[in-house]
């Protein structure tokens, strides 16, 4: 088998249908298998696949294994020389899959390749490539700064704005929404780490491949629409996603930089949360209109959750209800 495509589903049946439809039925001269793991959501994906996509392999997990666990489970049952980990809320555009596969086959130093991700409205999703996390780039991670200085090396996505981005270019981190890796590299670095339940697994994997001597590449000629966050469901609405993201970054820093670095990240995150909350309090008090106030209150709630996590008051439970 040349390529194994792995998709983890959690309450995303309708998006999963669109994702599967976007995959080419075949690639000339190559053998492809598709494996879907349902993370105990029981949302009807099994029935939909059996009816509409009978060649797709389906694995029903009786409990939520998280992103890492479910992907690893499917990877162990797959046979492809290359593995493509794909979110269910993604859709390939034109021959994007072929472009990714050709790139990883032709780049001898490549462990991982990733595509150009677009939002549902067709705008560029700048998170498709990133720099490895540092205390500084996390401390300065404000939309206003990213918008004002999009080419800062701090963000690691300068390649998105380069004219030659149609050819593969080396980057630090490829988004796990669409990440293709050689089986050799995936197995050598120990697959996805179970230190993470959700978020930062892709960062950790990319860091390990670079440490092992390979390169990770952005392939601008491959385009994928990523509807974004649709597989987090109700968890996102309850601020689960925001807090879990910080917890996962804390684990990344602790694992790869040491406990002291991890503690410093937690402290600086708390300081940022306090500043954000003070600004939001003023903004809420002067808000005009119910819609604006509601948006600001939602942001306030998110940063309260992050502050509570940074202070150790409400550790995130690694499961989705």
Would you state the pLDDT for residue 299?
92
The pLDDT value recorded for residue 247 is 93
Across the range 78-98, mean pLDDT stands at 96
Residues 48 and 129 in one domain: yes
Residues 122 and 195 in one domain: yes
Specify the 3-state DSSP secondary structure of 218. Answer: strand
Same domain (yes/no): 219, 267: no
Question: Long-range contacts for 42-45 (Cβ within 8 Å, ≥24 apart)?
Answer: 43/9, 43/11, 43/12, 43/13, 44/13, 45/9, 45/12, 45/13, 45/16
Which uninterrupted H or E stretch holds 57? strand 57-61
Mean pLDDT of 281-285: 94
Q: Are residues 89 and 191 in the same domain?
A: yes
Calculate helix-pair angle for 240-257, 259-285, nearest 10 degrees. 150
DSSP at 149: -
Summarised one tens digit per residue, pLDDT across range 15-50 is 999 999 999 988 888 999 999 999 999 999 999 999
Look at residue 234 in the predicted model and tell me its pLDDT. Answer: 41
Q: Is residue 317 part of a domain?
A: no
Does 219 score more than 80 pLDDT?
Answer: yes
Domain for residue 316, yes or no? no
pLDDT number for residue 238: 54
Structural domain range at position 246: 234-310
Q: Is the pLDDT of residue 235 over 50?
A: no
**Average confidence (pLDDT) over 95-107:** 95
The answer to whether the CB of 269 falls within 8 A of the CB of 138 is yes
Q: What is the pLDDT of residue 269?
A: 96
pLDDT tens digits along 287-306: 888 889 999 999 999 999 99
**pLDDT at residue 279 is higher than 90:** yes
Is-contact 46 117, C-beta < 8 A?
no
Residue 166 reports pLDDT greater than 60:
yes
Alpha-carbon 24 to chain mean position: 23
pLDDT score of 163 more than 80: no
Rounded Cα distance between 277 and 288, Å, is 18
> 71: closest CA among 82, 90, 84, 89?
84
Q: Residue 175 is encoded by which pair of tokens?
A: 């988004």
Residue 320 binned pLDDT confidence (cut-offs 50, 70, 90): very low
CATH classification of the domain holding 68? 3.90.550.10
Residues 146 and 242 in one domain: no
């Amino acid at each position: 088998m040349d390529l194994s495509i792995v998709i983890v589903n959690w309450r995303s049946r309708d998006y999963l249908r669109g994702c599967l439809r976007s995959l080419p039925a075949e690639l000339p001269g190559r053998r492809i298998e598709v494996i879907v793991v349902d993370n105990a959501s029981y949302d009807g994906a099994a029935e939909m696949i059996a009816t509409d996509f009978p060649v797709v392999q389906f694995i029903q997990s009786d409990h939520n294994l998280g992103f890492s666990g479910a992907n690893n489970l499917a990877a162990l049952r797959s046979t492809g020389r290359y593995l493509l980990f794909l979110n269910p809320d993604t859709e390939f555009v034109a021959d994007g899959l072929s472009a990714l596969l050709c790139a990883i086959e032709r780049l001898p130093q490549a462990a991982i390749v990733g595509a150009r991700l677009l939002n549902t409205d067709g705008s560029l999703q700048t998170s498709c490539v990133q720099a490895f996390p540092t205390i500084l780039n996390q401390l300065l991670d404000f939309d206003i700064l990213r918008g004002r200085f999009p080419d800062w090396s701090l963000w690691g996505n300068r390649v998105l704005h380069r004219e030659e981005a149609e050819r593969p270019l080396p980057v630090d981190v490829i988004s796990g929404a669409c990440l293709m890796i050689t089986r050799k590299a995936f197995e050598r670095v120990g697959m996805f780490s179970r230190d993470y339940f959700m978020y930062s697994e892709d960062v950790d994997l990319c860091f390990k491949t670079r440490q092992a001597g390979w390169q990770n590449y952005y392939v601008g000629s491959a385009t994928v629409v990523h509807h974004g966050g649709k597989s987090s469901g109700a968890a996102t609405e309850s601020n689960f996603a925001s807090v879990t993201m910080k917890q996962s970054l804390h684990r990344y820093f602790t694992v790869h930089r040491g406990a002291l670095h991890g503690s410093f990240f937690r402290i600086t995150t708390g300081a940022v949360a306090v500043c954000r909350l003070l600004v939001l309090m003023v903004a809420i008090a002067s808000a005009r209109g119910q819609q604006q106030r509601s948006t600001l209150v939602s942001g306030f709630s998110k940063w309260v959750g992050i502050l509570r996590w940074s202070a150790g008051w409400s550790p995130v439970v690694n499961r989705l209800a």
